[in-house]
């Protein structure tokens, strides 16, 4: 429906209003004025309202699983191939288990022999009493074995962490010290190269000026050399001023930092706690980083006039090597000097670049030193000590419990001697433990899939010798798919973990709706085209068999809903001076009225206060402004 408006005050603006049907059109007047025309209106009504976030994304799998055999051996059979789907528990490959099966048979025979011996020794004792005592020994023995295994693993893990920390720290310290100590010599060499270049320019300019053929090319070449001489004078000023001052600061800061590191090494060697040096080191490290930055800036300041000089010499070379000037034999030495000067400048620039790279390498190696000195080494040392203390205490407690159980069994068995019964039963336990180990080894010779997956990678061939530390096969987990989406900073505040979502994939069409839940929300933003966005993961609850990693789609999450809400078109709500207002029709006239809004969705906005059901509000139409 089109709308007709009365003539607006003439201010050079022509307003054209497009048609928009929202609820109806009425004739509106203002007090003391004639009709101002028809406007479109909408009625405040009750409706169910949902606020939905829809975000695009791409489908990924839940992750990869790397598997290796639990026992070492020669690879005998591979049952799967890359790209094949496998089920949970499906056999993937098998080692040659002939030796393991022989060991299992021998261990089982040893169990039977130990059991027969035990039955013979215990024949004279009460079956009920012996059974109870034996159960106590059995429980105590298992507890001791488990305690020993757990304690050994804890101690080994803590020691390995400490060993890696020591090795990493030592290598990083050596690298940093070597690089940092060589910087002054490199700077001195660079200063020498710059001085050499400066010494070459004046004689070269004089040689060019001495030729009798002072053509325009020759005069231009001499002027270029003189300009390069001026640039090199600037470079010399930087080399003897800013660069030297920066090097002195760098050397002093480096020496302070190295002295703190040496104190840290001394504390480690003496077995004392080095954590007290952390604050001293941090101060020294900050000072060193600042000095290294200033030295890098001085190198940049030196490189600038060197580049200018090198660039300025190129026209001089061209002028002395054109078709005419090449015929002047008295310029041969000048041409050679120019080439040598260019080589010297190239060497200076390369030396400066290498120095900056060395400063960067020193900073990288210093990171591992910083981690160790500021706490990680002390933490690893304390963890290793605590693990050893816990291990000793736990094993002693378990050993005492086993000894008590064995003593109880001895007292219970009056005839034959309790000692003989306990010894025979301990032999049975030992034989059974050995048999269990051989059976586990046989089972471990067959590698099985822990869950439904797709074989992504097989790293070994039949006949190769494998160890448990390697990675034989990589499985891509297809038991769960995740749609990774991006949302705006306004939308991310409305998302929450566990919220249900509806997922559609472009490849499956809009008619195929998948269900899922929000399982992850990025804690920080990623800047895209200057706009902060956040990532979120929606995990499918029952993925379609056609779903593949890399498919694009979108997820819709209902973040809020209102039943029987009072709603009006969102276009009717405006913001004036920070207030939300609507044009409420009263007696045929629009009256600006403050409102409080709730949620918004599907082109409608909830009105929490300010209107009542049945009220009519003006809905502005889209307008095009033409400025004359």
Average the pLDDT over 585-611 and give the result.
91
341 vs 412 pLDDT, higher one: 341
Count of alpha carbons within 13 angstroms of residue 613, beta-carbon side: 6
Residues 205 and 108 in one domain: no
Least confident of 7-11, 89-93, 223-227: 7-11
How many domains, in total, are found in the chain?
2
304 vs 35 pLDDT, higher one: 304
Residues 192 and 324 in one domain: yes
CA separation for the pair 426, 407 (Å, rounded): 13
> To the nearest 10°, the Cα dihedral for 34, 38, 43, 49?
-140
Average the pLDDT over 433-442 and give the result.
92
Residues 433 and 342 in one domain: no
**Within-domain flag for 621:** no
Q: Name the pLDDT band for 418 (thresholds 50, 70, 90).
A: confident
Q: Is 321 helix (H, G, I), strand (E, B) or coil?
A: coil
Give the CATH number, domain containing residue 209.
1.20.58
Select from 264, 262, 284 the least CA-distant residue to 381. Answer: 264
Select from 428, 440, 437 the least CA-distant residue to 138. Answer: 428
Residues 232 and 101 in one domain: no
> To the nearest 10°, the Cα dihedral for 483, 484, 489, 495?
40
The pLDDT of residue 298 is: 92
Percent of the residues in the chain that have a pLDDT greater than 70, as a whole number: 91
Average the pLDDT over 498-518 and give the result.
90
**Within-domain flag for 626:** no
CA separation for the pair 558, 227 (Å, rounded): 71
**Within-domain flag for 321:** yes
Percent of the residues in the chain that have a pLDDT greater than 90, as a whole number: 38
Residues 179 and 121 in one domain: no
The pLDDT of residue 419 is: 77
Residues 190 and 261 in one domain: yes
Residues 185 and 104 in one domain: no
CA separation for the pair 240, 248 (Å, rounded): 12
Residues 188 and 290 in one domain: yes
Mean pLDDT, the chain, as a whole number?
A: 84
**Over 90: is that where the pLDDT of 42 sits?**
yes
Give me 603's structure tokens. Answer: 């082109």
**Within-domain flag for 293:** yes
Q: Are strands 453-458 and 85-86 parallel, antiparallel or unpaired?
A: antiparallel
Burial of 280 (0-12, 13-18, 19+ CB in 10 A): middle
CA separation for the pair 176, 598 (Å, rounded): 60
Asked if residues 475 and 68 have their Cβ atoms less than 8 Å apart, the reply is no
Residues 213 and 346 in one domain: yes
**Within-domain flag for 219:** yes
Chosen domain end from 368, 384, 402: 368
Average the pLDDT over 603-621 and give the result.
92
Question: DSSP readout, 140-155?
Answer: HHHHHHHHHHHHHHHH
**Within-domain flag for 591:** no
Q: Which residues pair with 211 in a beta bridge?
A: none
217 vs 96 pLDDT, higher one: 96
Residues 356 and 426 in one domain: no
Task: Look at the alpha carbons of 530, 531, 535, 540 in this order and tell me if their dihedral is positive or negative.
Answer: negative
Residues 102 and 247 in one domain: no
Instruction: Give CA 481 to chain center in angstroms.
Output: 21
The pLDDT of residue 51 is: 85
Q: Is the pTM of this model over 0.75?
A: no
**Within a 10 A sphere around the Cβ of 398, how many other Cβ atoms?**
20
**Within-domain flag for 350:** yes
Range of the domain at 218: 173-368
Asked if residues 56 and 553 have their Cβ atoms less than 8 Å apart, the reply is yes
**Within-domain flag for 187:** yes
Select from 71, 116, 122 the least CA-distant residue to 97. Answer: 71
CA separation for the pair 90, 81 (Å, rounded): 13
Residues 118 and 213 in one domain: no
């Amino acid at each position: 429906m089109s709308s007709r408006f009365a003539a607006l005050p003439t201010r050079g603006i022509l307003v054209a209003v497009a048609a928009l049907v929202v609820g109806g059109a009425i004739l509106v007047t203002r007090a003391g004025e004639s009709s101002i025309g028809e406007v479109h209106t909408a009625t405040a009504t009750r409706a169910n309202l949902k606020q939905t976030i829809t975000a695009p994304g791409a489908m990924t799998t839940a992750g990869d699983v790397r598997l290796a055999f639990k026992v070492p051996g020669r690879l005998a059979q591979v049952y799967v191939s890359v790209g094949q789907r496998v089920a949970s528990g499906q056999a993937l490959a098998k080692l040659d288990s002939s030796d393991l099966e022989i060991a299992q048979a021998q261990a089982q025979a040893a169990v039977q022999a130990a059991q027969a011996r035990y039955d013979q020794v215990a024949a004279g004792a009460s079956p009920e009493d012996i059974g109870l005592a034996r159960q106590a020994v059995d429980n105590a023995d298992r507890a001791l074995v488990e305690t020993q295994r757990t304690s050994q693993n804890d101690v080994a893990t803590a020691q390995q962490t400490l060993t890696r920390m020591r090795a990493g720290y030592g290598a990083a310290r050596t690298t940093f010290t070597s690089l940092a100590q060589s910087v002054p010599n490199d700077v001195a060499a660079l200063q020498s190269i710059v001085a050499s270049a400066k010494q070459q320019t004046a004689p070269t300019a004089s040689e060019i000026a001495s030729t009798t053929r002072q053509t325009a090319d020759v005069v231009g070449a001499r002027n270029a050399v003189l300009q390069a001489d001026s640039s090199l004078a600037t470079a010399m000023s930087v080399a003897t001023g800013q660069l030297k001052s920066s090097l002195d600061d760098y050397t002093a800061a480096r020496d302070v930092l190295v002295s703190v590191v040496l104190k840290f090494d001394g504390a480690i060697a003496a077995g004392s706690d080095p954590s007290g040096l952390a604050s001293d080191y941090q101060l020294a490290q900050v000072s060193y980083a600042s000095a290294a930055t200033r030295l890098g800036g001085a190198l940049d300041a030196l490189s600038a006039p060197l580049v200018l000089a090198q660039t300025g010499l190129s026209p001089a070379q061209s002028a002395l090597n054109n078709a005419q000037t090449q015929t002047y034999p008295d310029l041969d030495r000048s041409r050679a000097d120019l080439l040598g000067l260019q080589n010297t400048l190239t060497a200076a620039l390369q030396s400066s670049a290498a120095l900056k790279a060395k400063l960067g390498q020193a900073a990288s190696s210093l990171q591992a030193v910083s981690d160790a000195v500021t706490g990680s080494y002390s933490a690893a040392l304390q963890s290793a000590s605590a693990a050893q203390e816990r291990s000793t205490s736990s094993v002693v407690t378990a050993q005492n419990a086993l000894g008590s159980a064995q003593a109880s069994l001895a007292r219970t068995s009056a005839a034959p001697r309790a000692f003989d019964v306990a010894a025979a039963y301990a032999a049975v336990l030992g034989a059974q433990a050995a048999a269990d180990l051989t059976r586990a080894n046989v089972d471990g010779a067959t590698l099985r899939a822990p869950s439904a997956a797709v074989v992504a990678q097989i790293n070994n061939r039949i006949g190769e010798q494998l160890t448990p530390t390697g990675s034989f096969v990589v499985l891509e987990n297809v038991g769960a798919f995740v749609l990774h989406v991006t949302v705006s900073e306004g939308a991310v505040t409305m998302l929450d973990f566990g919220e249900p979502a509806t997922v559609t994939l472009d490849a499956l069409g809009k008619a195929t709706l998948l269900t899922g839940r929000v399982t992850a929300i990025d804690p920080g933003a990623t800047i895209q085209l200057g706009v902060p966005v956040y990532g979120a993961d929606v995990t499918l609850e029952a993925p379609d068999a056609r779903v593949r990693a890399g498919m694009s789609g979108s997820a819709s999450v209902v973040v809020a809903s209102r039943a029987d809400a009072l709603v009006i078109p969102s276009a009717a709500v405006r913001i004036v001076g920070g207030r939300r207002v609507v044009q409420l029709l009263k007696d045929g006239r629009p009256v600006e009225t403050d409102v409080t809004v709730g949620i918004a969705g599907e082109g409608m906005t909830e009105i929490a206060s300010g209107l009542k059901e049945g009220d009519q509000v003006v809905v502005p139409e889209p307008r095009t402004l033409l400025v004359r």
